[in-house]
C-alpha cells in the first residue's frame, strides 16, 4: 500500500511526536528534573537538532542529566542542547 504525501507527512509527524514523548519521559525520570519539553530546531547550518527545555528540581547539572540519559536513550534520541527554564510555557512560544 502506497501512502500519499499528506499521509506520509502525518505518519512522520506522529512518529516524531512519539519520539519526543519518549525523550521527555526519560528526562523526567531523572531526580534532577521536575518537567521538560523537547523540540526540534534547525542549526545555523540547517541541520535538525533536539533541544530539551528543562525545569530543574534544584541546581541544574547538565552533565548529571546527560549521564543519566546515556543509560536510557539511544544516541539518535539524545538532545544536543539542554536549556534550563523556570516553567514550561502554556503556549508554543519557547
The pLDDT confidence band at residue 10, using thresholds 50, 70 and 90, is very low
Instruction: Report helix, strand or coil for 33.
Output: strand
3-state DSSP helix/strand/coil percent for the chain, to nearest 5?
Answer: 40, 25, 35
Give the residue-averaged pLDDT of 74-89: 93
Q: Is residue 89 part of a domain?
A: no
**Number of domains making up the chain:** 1
Task: Let me know if residue 78 belongs to a domain.
Answer: yes
pLDDT value at residue 5: 42
Which residues are CB-contacts of 82 (< 8 A; sequence separation ≥ 6)? 51, 52, 54, 60, 62, 65, 66
More confident residue, 18 or 11: 18
Q: Does residue 68 belong to any structural domain of this protein?
A: yes
The angle, 0 to 180 degrees and rounded to 10, between the axes of the packed helices 62-70 and 5-28 is 120
Mean pLDDT of the chain: 83
- Residue 22: which CATH number? 3.30.300.30
Q: Considering the entire predicted model, what is its pTM?
A: 0.78
> What is the percentage of the chain residues whose pLDDT exceeds 90?
68
Q: Which domain holds residue 41?
A: 5-84
Inside any domain, residue 76: yes
Per-residue pLDDT band for 92 (boundaries 50, 70, 90) equals low
Amino acid at each position: 500500500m502506497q501512502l500519499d504525501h499528506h499521509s506520509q507527512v502525518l505518519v512522520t509527524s506522529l512518529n516524531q511526536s512519539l519520539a519526543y514523548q519518549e525523550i521527555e519521559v526519560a528526562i523526567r525520570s531523572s531526580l534532577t528534573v521536575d518537567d521538560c519539553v523537547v523540540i526540534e530546531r534547525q542549526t545555523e547550518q540547517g541541520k535538525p537538532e533536539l533541544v530539551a527545555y528543562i525545569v530543574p528540581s534544584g541546581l541544574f547539572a547538565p552533565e548529571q542529566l546527560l549521564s543519566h540519559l546515556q543509560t536510557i536513550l539511544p544516541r539518535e534520541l539524545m538532545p544536543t542542547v539542554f536549556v534550563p527554564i523556570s516553567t514550561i510555557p502554556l503556549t508554543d512560544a519557547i
